[in-house]
Amino acid sequence: MPQQYDTVVIGGGHNGLVAAAYLARGGMKTLVLERRHVLGGAAVTEEVFPGFRFSVASYVVSLLRPEIIRDLQLPRHGLQILPLDGTFTPLDKDYLWRTDDHGQSMREIRRWNAADAEAYEEYGLLMVEMARFIKPILGIVPLDPQRPDPREAMPLAGLLRTFSKLPRRQQTAFVQLMTMSAADFLDQWFETDPLKATMSASGIIGTFLGVRSPGTAYVLLHHYMGEIDGAFRAWGIPKDGTGGISNAIAQAARSFGAEIRTEAPVVRIEVRDGRATGVVLESGEEIHATTVLASTDAKVTFLDLLEAGTLDRDFEDGVRRFRFRGSSGKVNLALDGLPDFTCLPGPGEHLRGAISMSPSIDYMEGAYDDAKAGSFSRRPYVDVVIPTLVDPRMAPPGKHIMSCFVQYAPYDLAEGTWDEQREPFGDAVVDVLAERAPNIRDLILHRQVLTPLDIERTLGLTEGNIFQGELTLEQLFFSRPVPGYARFRTPVRDLWLCGSSAHPGGGIMGAPGRIAALEVLRSRRTETVRAWRPRWRRNGEGGAGEAGTALPAEAQA
Amino acid sequence: MTERRYDAIVVGGGHNGLVCAAYLAKAGLRALVLEKREHVGGGLATSEIAPGARVPALAHTVGRFRASVARDLDLYSHGLRLVQPHVRAVSLRPGAAPITLWGDPDQTASELARTSRHDAAAWLELDRRVRAHAGVLDRLMSLTPPDPASPALADVLGALRVGLRYRGLGTTDAREFLRVLPMPIADLLEDHFDTDGLRAAVATRGMRFTSLGPRSAGSTQVMLADSAGNDGGLAGETVYARGGPGALADALASAARSHGAEIRTSAEVAAIREADGRTTGVALASGAQIGADVVVGGVDPKRLLLGLIDPEALGPQLGWQAGNLRLDGVTAKVNLALSDLPRFTGLEGDADRDRLRGRILVAPDVGYLDRAADAAKYGCTSGEPWLEATIPSLVDPLLVDGGAKAGIRHVMSVLLQAAPYKLRDGDWDACRDELGDLAIRTLETVAPGIGALVTGRQVLTPIDLERDYGFSGGHPFHGEPSLDQWFAWRPLLGWARYRMPLEGLYLCGAGAHPGGGVTGTPGRNAAREIVADWRRRN
C-alpha cells in the first residue's frame, strides 16, 4: 500500500526545501525527494578532496529573501552568513580595489578618475532607490495578461502607481535597466574601463549574453538588492559553504514536520484524468500525493518526468522553446597557500573579497565572442573567492580553497566534446589567474573542473544553466517558463513548479519556492469554493488555457 | 532686423520635416521649412553619380511610407508614382542556391518547399503572425506616447485602441506578441526555420541601419516595426519611387507648398532663439534672423538639444541625457554606375532577371551577420560586411536614360554594414576608398566580374552621413531603434510627446516616436500635437 502525502516536492534544492518548509508550516503532510545523497542541489557543500570542503557550484549569497530568513527562522537552524568584503580587480601593473568601506572605495576610484568617483556616489544612491522600487516584483505572482486576475493585478497596479510618482530621473533609469546593455548603461556614468568591466560582470552571470547585449543592465541591480540582516548590497558566503543554507532550510522544514528523503530519484509523475496523483521512484516505489511540486527545471519536469502525450503540443513546443544554453563553468582549487598578485604582492585584505578577472569591457566582450563561436573563452572572465579566509574550517590548517566561477563555457561546443575539453578549459582558467598571480601554479594541490555538461549530469540542471533557464527579457515574469503558465501552475492540475524555471528565476533567492508554496496553500483553501463551480470553469483554473489544458486519459492516443 | 511672417519654422527639410510642414500649412499655420542643403529630402535623395546615371543616395526603398499620409497630402496628384515588383528580396549565397522572397507568401513557400517542407509551412505561419503583430505595432506607432507622470484621457483612449487590436490577436498570438517583442531575431527565426540562409535573409531586417546583431535583444521589434503599416509581412517591403527616392521628397515639397508652406534651401539654421523659456525664432548661419512662435526640429535630437539650443536654457540634467543618446551609426552606402547588368551566381538565366528587382542580399548565414556586427563593437569595419543592394534601373530605366553615351546601363545602390562611426584606428576620410573596394570585393563573391562593370561610384561613410546629411553620429535613424530608445522613451523619457524643453519647441524627426525609416509618421504625429497646442493658444 503506497504512502499518501498531501504534498510531494521533487528535488531537494534550496527552492524545493523552501517550498517544503512553507507547506509543512501550513499544515501539509509534506515529503521531499532528492535524487542525490546530499541536499541542496546547486547550493551544496561537498568534501571534494580529503579535508577540503567546497561550495561545489553556487558559492556566494546575497539575494536570499529576508522574509524567508524570518519566516523559517533560519539563523536558529544554523544559518550564518560571513561578509565578503569588496571586489579586487587585478591588472598588469595596477589594480582596482573597492571595499565596503565607502571612503576607501571613493579614494580608490578617485585615484583612477575624479569624475568617476563623483558619479560612483550618485550612481550608488540611484541604484539603491531602483532596488527599493523593483524588490516587490520578486514577491508577487506574475499575472497572465490574457486572464488578468484582480488579486494578482493589484500589486502590479500598485507598482505602476509608484512608478508614475517616481522622479523622472529614476523612471528613466528603470526603463534603461530593463532594456539596455550593462556596458551602455555604465558608459553613461563612468570612464574607468576596469571599473565598468567589473561592474558589468554581474550582468552576464549565468546568461549566454555579453556585457554589450541589451537586457544585461537589469542584473546590475541584483548587487544592490542583496540583503543580509537588512543591509543593502552586502554579499556574503554562508558558513560551511552554500550547503550551509540548504541544511538550515532543511532543518527548518523538518522542524515543521516535513519528511526529507535523499537518494530517492523520481522517474515519473503519475497523472490520472489530467491531475497529478503522485510520483514513482527509480526503485519502483509509488508515492501518492494530492499535490506534486517540482523544483526541477521546466524541461526535466515536463519532458522527462511526465509521460509523453500528457501535455498538448502547443505547451510542449513552448517548453522546447524555453532556452537554457548553459554558459558558465566552475573550477574549484585546493591550494597550499595564498595566491600572490604581482600588482599588489603579499597576503592582505584584498584577498578576502571577490577577485574579479575583468580588466576591460573589450576583454569581457571578447570572452563572449569566443562562446558565440562555439568554444569556451580562451581568456575567460573569472570571479574568484577564497572562502577559507573567512571560514578556515573548510580546509586543513594552513591550506586554502579557491572557488573560480568562469564564463563563458557554452554547453554546445562547435568542436569536440566537453569530456575532451574539460582539462583544457581548466588550464585556460589557471592561465588567466597565473598572468596576475604567477605563484598559483605551484600552489595547486587538487583541481576540480565543472563544465556545463558536468553541471547537467551531477546537478540535473538542463544544459548546465545555473538559473534553470536563461534570465532574458523574453523569459521573465509572465513568460517564465511558458507564456500563460508563469503562475507556478501547470497544464496538469495539482502539478506545480517551484524551482528557478518559474518567476522570478535563479540565484539563491528562494523566492520561487516560497511563492509557489503560498499559492498552493491558498488554492487549497479555495478548494471547497471551487468544488461548487461548473466543471468547465474548474478546468480553466490555474491559467490552463484552451491551449494548455491537459488531455483526459481517455482522449490520449 | 527680424522677419516675422511665420507661425512655425521647421528646421530641416527631411521627409519628416516636409510632412510636418505640410500638415501645419494644411491646418492654416504659416509654415516655413529651412533646409541646409540645396535640395530638400534629407535621406530621401537621388544623386547623379555619373553623367546621366541617377541613383538613390541613401534610402533606396520607400515602401514604409504611411499610406494615410500619402492620401492626406494627396501626393499622387503631386507626381508621386510607386513601383512594387513581385519579388521582395533574393539572398545570394556563395556555393548555395539563392533564396527568393516573393510578395506572395504562397509563392515563397512553394519555392522553399523544394528544400524544406517544414520551412515552407513555417514561412506561411510566421508571415501570418508577423502581419498580425505588426498591425498592433502600427496602432502603437500612430499614437503620441503617454506622459508617464500624468496619463491624460487621450492617452487612455489611445491605449484602448491598441488594446483592442491586441485583444483581437487571440490568446496565443497575443502571448506570442509579448514574448517576441524583446527577443533576439536569430532566436525567433531558429524557433521557426531549419535553413540558416533563410534565417539570415530575414534577420537582416532586424539589423538594418542599427548596431544590433542578430543575437541582440530587441532586433525582433525592429523587424516588426519595419512591417508595421505596410504590406511587408515577413519578407519585408520593396517599393520604389519612380525617378528615385528624391521624387517622394519633391512630391512632399510640392504638397506642402500647395497648402501655402514656404521652403528655403541652402538656408542653414545656426541657433534657435529663445526668451524666458519660449522659442522666439531662429538665427541663420547667414546671420539673418526669422521670428516664429513655434520652432520644429526635423533634425536629430542631439543636434537639436546640444547644437541649436542655449545650454543655459536646456539645463545640465537634460544636457547630460542628450549627450548620452545612443546614435552612433554603423551604416555605409556605396552607389555604383554599371556598364551592364552583373551576372549573379545561380541567377544567370533571363528568366531569373525578375528576382533581381527586389532587395539583393549578401547575408549567407546568421554567423556571418553576427561577425559583421561584432567587428563594429571594437571600432572596426568587418572584412566580411553584409549587404543589401538594389538595382533600381531594372524597374525604372529612366534613371539611366542619359547614361547611354557614357556607357552606363544600370545603377546599383548598396547598403553596407557594419561600418562603425567611431573607428578604433584611422579615420573615414583616409579609408573611404577602401570601403568602396570592400563593397565591390564582397559583391564579387556572388557576382563574379562585377568590379569590371563599375564605371563610376559614390561612397558614403558614416562621417559623410554626418557632414552631408546632418545625421549626428551618422545614424540615419536619428538614434538607435533599440528598446532603450523606444516609444515613451524616444528620444528621452518624458520628452516623447514631440514637445521639447522650451515652450513652442517641438521634435518631428526620426529621433521621436515611432522612429526612423521612410514613414513620415513622426512628422505627422508631431504636427497633430503642434496644431492641438496652437489651437489651444489662439
pLDDT, tens only, B467-489: 999 999 999 999 999 999 999 99
Nearest chain A residue to B190, by CA: A321
**CA torsion, ordered B419, B423, B428, B431, to nearest 10 deg:** -80
B425 interfaces chain A, CB cutoff of 8 Å: no
What per-residue confidence (pLDDT) applies to A472? 87
| Shortest alpha-carbon distance between residue A197 and chain B (Å) | 15
Among A196-200, A219-223, B332-336, B345-349, the range scoring the smallest mean pLDDT is: A219-223
| Shortest alpha-carbon distance between residue A265 and chain B (Å) | 32
More reliable by pLDDT, B425 or A23: A23
Cell digits of residue B185: 531575431
Do the Cβ atoms of A213 and B370 come within 8 Å? no
Nearest to B403 by CA among B458, B449, B336: B336
The CA-CA-CA angle for residues A216, B474, B477, to 5°, reads 65
Residue A259 belongs to what H/E stretch? Answer: strand A259-261
pLDDT over 90 at A55, yes or no: yes
Residue A114 belongs to what H/E stretch? Answer: helix A114-134
Question: What does the DSSP 8-state code read for residue A195?
Answer: H
Nearest to A138 by CA among A185, A68, A70, A79: A68
Distances (CA, A) of A485 to A145, A319, A335, A345: 11, 10, 46, 53
Nearest to A214 by CA among B491, B480, B496: B480
Residue in this structure with the C-alpha cell 507622470, named with its chain if needed: B149
pLDDT over 70 at A196, yes or no: yes
Rounded to whole angstroms, the Cα distance separating B421 from B425 reads: 12
What per-residue confidence (pLDDT) applies to B3? 66
Distances (CA, A) of A176 to A22, B183, B396, B399: 36, 16, 45, 45
The CA-CA-CA angle for residues A429, A430, A433, to 5°, reads 90
> Which residues on B lie below 8 Å from A215 (Cβ)?
182, 217-218
- Single-letter amino acid code for the residue at B233: G
Rounded to whole angstroms, the Cα distance separating B368 from B363 reads: 7
Distances (CA, A) of B482 to A189, B226, B374: 20, 13, 17
pLDDT over 90 at B433, yes or no: yes
* Sign of the CA dihedral running B422, B423, B425, B428: negative
Facing residue for A484 by CB, picked from B175, B378, B483: B175
Cell digits of residue A475: 523569459
Residue in this structure with the C-alpha cell 563623483, named with its chain if needed: A118
Of all residues in chain B, what percent carry a pLDDT higher than 90? Answer: 91
Cell digits of residue A290: 494530492
Per-residue model confidence as pLDDT tens digits over A87-117: 999 999 999 999 988 899 999 999 999 999 9
| Shortest alpha-carbon distance between residue A475 and chain B (Å) | 8
DSSP H helical ranges for B153-241: 153-167, 171-180, 185-192, 196-203, 219-227
On the CB side of A180, CA atoms within 13 Å amount to 23
Rounded to whole angstroms, the Cα distance separating B47 from B42 reads: 12
Question: What does the DSSP 8-state code read for residue B41?
Answer: B
What per-residue confidence (pLDDT) applies to A137? 82
Distances (CA, A) of B335 to A160, A487, B14: 50, 54, 20
A188 interfaces chain B, CB cutoff of 8 Å: yes
A164 interfaces chain B, CB cutoff of 8 Å: yes
A141, A515 contact by CB (below 8 A): yes
Nearest to A96 by CA among A187, A180, A190, A189: A190
Rounded to whole angstroms, the Cα distance separating A101 from A99 reads: 5
What is the bridge-based pairing of β-strands B289-291 and B359-362? Answer: unpaired
> Which residues on A lie below 8 Å from B486 (Cβ)?
179
Facing residue for B484 by CB, picked from A164, A169, A179: A179
Longest alpha-carbon distance in chain A: 74
Nearest chain A residue to B495, by CA: A168
Nearest to B238 by CA among B134, B89, B386, B109: B89
What per-residue confidence (pLDDT) applies to B538? 84
Do the Cβ atoms of A169 and B374 come within 8 Å? no
**Radius of gyration, alpha carbons of chain A:** 23
Contacts of A35 (CB under 8 A, 6+ apart): A11, A263, A264, A265, A266, A460
> Which residues on A lie below 8 Å from B191 (Cβ)?
321
A494, A310 contact by CB (below 8 A): no
Please state the length of chain B. 538
Among A367-371, A553-557, B42-46, the range scoring the smallest mean pLDDT is: A553-557
Do the Cβ atoms of A321 and B176 come within 8 Å? no
What per-residue confidence (pLDDT) applies to A555? 37
Do the Cβ atoms of A212 and B377 come within 8 Å? yes
> Which residues on A lie below 8 Å from B180 (Cβ)?
474
Nearest to B295 by CA among B29, B27, B2, B26: B29
B179 interfaces chain A, CB cutoff of 8 Å: yes
- Single-letter amino acid code for the residue at B456: G
Cell digits of residue B384: 566580411
A392, A432 contact by CB (below 8 A): no
What per-residue confidence (pLDDT) applies to B495? 95
> At how many degrees (to 10) do helices A361-372 and B366-377 cross?
170
Nearest chain A residue to B220, by CA: A474
Rounded to whole angstroms, the Cα distance separating A214 from A220 reads: 13
Tell me what the mean pLDDT of segment A31-47 comes to. Answer: 97
Which residues share a beta bridge with A294? Answer: A10, A497
> Which residues on A lie below 8 Å from B218 (Cβ)?
179, 214-215
DSSP secondary structure string, A47-111? EEETTEEEE-S---BS---HHHHHHTTGGGGT--EEE---EEEE-SS-EEEE-S-HHHHHHHHHH
Instruction: Output the average pLDDT for chain B.
Output: 95
Quick check: ipTM above 0.85?
yes
Among A228-237, B220-229, B504-513, the range scoring the smallest mean pLDDT is: A228-237
> Distance from CA of residue A169 to its chain's centroid?
30
Do the Cβ atoms of B212 and A175 come within 8 Å? no
B174 interfaces chain A, CB cutoff of 8 Å: yes
| Shortest alpha-carbon distance between residue A500 and chain B (Å) | 19
Helix (H, G, I), strand (E, B) or coil at A12: coil
**Radius of gyration, alpha carbons of chain B:** 23
> Which residues on A lie below 8 Å from B489 (Cβ)?
172, 175
Per-residue model confidence as pLDDT tens digits over B72-89: 999 999 999 999 999 999
Helix (H, G, I), strand (E, B) or coil at A262: coil
Contacts of A144 (CB under 8 A, 6+ apart): A152, A478, A484, A486, A487, A543
Residue in this structure with the C-alpha cell 576591460, named with its chain if needed: A360
Do the Cβ atoms of B179 and A474 come within 8 Å? yes
* Sign of the CA dihedral running A458, A463, A465, A467: negative
Best probe of the A interface among B118, B125, B483, by most A CBs < 10 A, is: B483
Residue B102 belongs to what H/E stretch? Answer: strand B96-102
Do the Cβ atoms of A474 and B180 come within 8 Å? yes
Per-residue model confidence as pLDDT tens digits over B136-178: 999 999 999 988 777 778 888 888 888 888 889 998 899 899 9
Facing residue for B171 by CB, picked from A168, A472, A545: A545
> Distance from CA of residue A122 to its chain's centroid?
29
pLDDT over 90 at B109, yes or no: yes
Give the count of beta carbons closer than 10 Å to the beta carbon of residue A77.
Answer: 17
Residue B370 belongs to what H/E stretch? Answer: helix B366-377
> Distance from CA of residue B102 to its chain's centroid?
22
Rounded to whole angstroms, the Cα distance separating B462 from A415 reads: 38
More reliable by pLDDT, A302 or A203: A302
A185, A177 contact by CB (below 8 A): yes
B493 interfaces chain A, CB cutoff of 8 Å: yes
B538 interfaces chain A, CB cutoff of 8 Å: no
Do the Cβ atoms of A321 and B191 come within 8 Å? yes
3-state secondary structure B410-469: EEEEEEEECCCCCCCCCCCCCCHHHHHHHHHHHHHCCCCCHHHHEEEEEEECHHHHHHHH
> At how many degrees (to 10) do helices B185-192 and B117-141 cross?
140
What per-residue confidence (pLDDT) applies to B152? 77
Per-residue model confidence as pLDDT tens digits over A442-492: 999 999 999 999 999 999 999 999 999 998 888 988 889 999 899 999 999
Nearest to A265 by CA among A298, A291, A287, A288: A287
Nearest to A470 by CA among A298, A245, A341: A298
Instruction: Output the average pLDDT for chain A.
Output: 90
pLDDT over 60 at A557, yes or no: no
Nearest chain A residue to B322, by CA: A188
B116, B194 contact by CB (below 8 A): yes
B173 interfaces chain A, CB cutoff of 8 Å: no
Nearest to B70 by CA among B247, B216, B208, B192: B247
What per-residue confidence (pLDDT) applies to B112? 98
- Single-letter amino acid code for the residue at A143: L
| Shortest alpha-carbon distance between residue A215 and chain B (Å) | 7
